[in-house]
DNA sequence: TTAGGGTTAG
């Protein structure tokens, strides 16, 4: 009503009215109306331009916002700090390093590069563009630092592969008694939960209780994820049940937690509760649900969910959803059905989908469909060793040694090669590294002995090598429990022997083993970065 | 009347 009145009077073309209207329209999601007011204004000041640019950024329309920023710069109105800030955020969103650097040099010329908000935005831009070194330089020379800039650099380190440094950084902040706000805490939970550091996670939990952050949904959602990724599903469920207000991320996190632990039934049950609570599922809810169905072999239920996604909620499935379905069919041994499903897809199958099919063929040892999937994958990613290695493995599992040799030869001819994966663990500042079948370590015999013991325990639990069944999911949980005990031993004064029990890659992938690409961390330390 | 960081899948 109000805007109709304003429009009919033409007042919206005046600066003061137009500026207010732009902000209000964007706040209520009326993007085109906001833009229309902007386009039709007689005169625009710095607030008009900045309101428009920042509104576009907040709606993730980064390219459009940068176009407007450039347009502004060629006109008579000069940008101010807030305009530059919004443009930097657009560069972060687009991971546009060149544009970000250009804005950085403009800020230098204007002498406003050291305002704390500008510095944190610059650090964020560099981190998101993969240039954590540049972010670190700004951090080191910064005059003012606050919770935001601390969180930015912490996330920057973690997201660029320097997780250990990020942890040390946080521990320093924690020990120094600096004010830690809930935003930083939820960011830290995300970093810590990927490394199965249950005891650290528990410390953060107690800190959040002490600081009275118990009502913060970001912190609680972070705790749900941290506990579930660290193997303590019941603690996740406790955090979830104590929450007074749950948003879709809370529900998704808890559903994913059950799915991750192989408890498909509880995941599906929770989905029903979510719906009866009136919370609409999102595309991510369906990914977790399909994942859950895949791991417990609930094929029909999974197909029903996929259908309801579009029919009931109007969510268009993405390639990830289709890949989950292919994985589900494949794990259930329905390889032909998986192939037919892919052929009937409304969109062109991508790498993820073919990888899922090939993965299923590897598990089942199916050379025929495997070859079909591998060829499709080679078309998508000609430089990848994955299809060749998978095919070689399928052939060896079937005793087809000639075919295996031919595949390896072909791989060499084309010039693709697989980098050997190295696992390592740091014990008392010494790094112990391993490759597959490695017997170079002085205590290798002891370690292989323990590995055999673990395998026995797994077999007792019903583990069938190479056969993925619901039982194996149970075994996965069991294995997590054993490993957790070993970790406790270490934390409470264990020795090398206890550590070596999980220094071996027993294939569970629970995060104790540093992957190859993380060797960056060592280089980082050698360069004298970070905290020692 | 324009402002910086945070939680979910794989």
Digit-coded pLDDT (tens) for A378-408:
998 888 888 999 999 899 888 889 999 899 8
> Is the distance between the Cβ of A327 and the closest atom of strand B smaller than 7 Å?
no
Distance between CA atoms of A211 and A215, rounded to whole angstroms? 11
> Is the distance between the Cβ of A71 and the closest atom of strand B smaller than 7 Å?
no
> Is the distance between the Cβ of A330 and the closest atom of strand B smaller than 7 Å?
no
Dump pLDDT digits (tens) for A122-133.
999 999 999 999
Confidence class for position A478, pLDDT limits 50, 70, 90: very low
Candidates A343, A340, A351, A259; CA nearest to A305 is A259
> Is the distance between the Cβ of A186 and the closest atom of strand B smaller than 7 Å?
yes
- The pTM score is 0.78
Distance between CA atoms of A307 and A309, rounded to whole angstroms? 5
Residue A168 CB: number of other CB atoms within 10 A?
15
| Average of per-residue pLDDT values in chain A | 83
Confidence class for position A449, pLDDT limits 50, 70, 90: confident
> Tokens standing for A110?
């204007």
pLDDT at site A295? 87
Dump pLDDT digits (tens) for A246-278.
999 999 999 999 999 989 999 999 999 999 999
Dump pLDDT digits (tens) for A216-239.
999 999 999 999 998 899 999 999
Mean pLDDT of the region A302-330: 96
Q: Which residue is nearest to nucleotide B3 (CA to C1')?
A: A82
Confidence class for position A366, pLDDT limits 50, 70, 90: very high
Of the ranges A75-89, A355-369, A474-488, which one carries the lowest mean pLDDT score? A474-488
Candidates A226, A239, A222; CA nearest to A193 is A226
β-bridge mates for residue A431, sequence order: A426
Only one residue has tokens 């429990």, namely A481
Candidates A307, A246, A300; CA nearest to A277 is A246
CA of A343 to C1' of B9 (A): 24
Q: Which nucleotide is nearest to A117 (CA to C1')?
A: B4
CA of A375 to C1' of B4 (A): 47
- Is the pLDDT confidence value at A106 over 90? yes
Residue A329 CB: number of other CB atoms within 10 A?
25
Q: What is the DSSP letter of A11?
A: G
Name the residue ranges covered by the structural domains of chain A.
146-245, 432-514
Nucleotides of B under 7 A from a protein CB: 1-10
> Is the distance between the Cβ of A393 and the closest atom of strand B smaller than 7 Å?
no
Helix (H, G, I), strand (E, B) or coil at A432: strand
């Amino acid at each position: 009503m109000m805007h109709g009145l304003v429009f009919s009077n033409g007042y919206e073309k005046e600066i003061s009215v137009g500026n207010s209207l732009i902000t209000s329209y964007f706040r209520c999601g009326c993007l085109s109306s906001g833009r229309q007011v902007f386009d039709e204004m007689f005169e625009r000041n710095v607030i008009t331009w900045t309101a428009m640019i920042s509104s576009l950024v907040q709606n993730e329309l980064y390219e459009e916002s940068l176009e407007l920023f450039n347009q502004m710069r060629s006109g008579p109105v000069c940008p101010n700090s807030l305009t530059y800030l919004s443009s930097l955020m657009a560069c972060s969103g687009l991971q546009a390093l060149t544009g970000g650097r250009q804005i950085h040099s403009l800020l230098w010329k204007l002498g406003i590069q050291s305002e704390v908000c500008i510095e944190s935005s610059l650090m964020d831009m560099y981190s998101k563009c993969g240039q954590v070194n540049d972010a670190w330089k700004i951090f080191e020379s910064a005059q003012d630092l606050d919770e935001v800039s601390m969180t930015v650099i912490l996330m920057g380190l973690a997201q660029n592969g320097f997780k250990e440094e990020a942890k040390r950084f946080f521990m320093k902040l924690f020990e120094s008694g600096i004010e830690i706000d809930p935003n930083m805490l939820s960011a830290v939970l995300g970093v810590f939960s990927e490394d199965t550091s249950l005891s650290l996670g528990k410390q953060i939990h107690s800190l959040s209780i002490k600081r009275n952050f118990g009502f913060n949904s970001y912190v609680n959602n972070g705790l749900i994820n941290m506990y579930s990724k660290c193997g303590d599903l019941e603690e996740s469920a406790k955090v979830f049940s104590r929450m007074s207000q749950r948003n879709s991320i809370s529900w998704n996190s808890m559903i994913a937690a059950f799915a991750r632990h192989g408890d498909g039934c509880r995941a599906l049950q929770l989905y029903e509760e979510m719906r009866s609570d009136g919370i609409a599922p999102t595309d991510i809810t369906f990914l977790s649900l399909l994942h859950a169905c895949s791991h417990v072999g609930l094929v029909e239920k999974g197909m029903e969910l996929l259908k309801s996604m579009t029919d009931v909620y109007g969510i268009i499935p993405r390639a990830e959803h289709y890949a989950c379905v292919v994985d589900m069919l494949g794990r259930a041994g329905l390889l032909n059905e998986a192939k037919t499903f892919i052929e009937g897809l409304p969109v062109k199958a991508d790498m993820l989908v073919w990888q899922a099919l090939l993965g299923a063929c590897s598990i089942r040892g199916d050379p025929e469909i495997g070859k079909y999937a591998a060829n499709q994958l080679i078309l998508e990613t000609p430089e990848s060793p994955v299809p060749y290695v998978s095919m070689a493995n399928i052939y060896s599992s079937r005793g087809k040694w000639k075919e295996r040799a031919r595949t390896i030869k072909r791989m060499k001819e084309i010039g693709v090669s697989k980098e050997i994966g190295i696992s390592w663990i740091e014990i008392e500042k010494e790094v112990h590294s391993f490759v597959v079948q490695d017997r170079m370590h002085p205590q290798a015999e002891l370690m292989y002995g323990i590995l055999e013991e673990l395998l026995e325990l797994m077999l007792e639990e019903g583990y069938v090598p190479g056969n993925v069944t619901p039982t194996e999911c149970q075994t996965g949980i069991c294995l997590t429990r054993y490993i957790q005990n070993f970790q406790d031993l270490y934390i409470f004064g264990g020795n090398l022997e206890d550590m070596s029990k999980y220094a071996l890659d027993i294939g569970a992938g629970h995060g104790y083993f540093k992957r190859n690409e993380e060797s960056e961390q060592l280089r980082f330390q050698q360069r004298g970065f970070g905290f020692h």
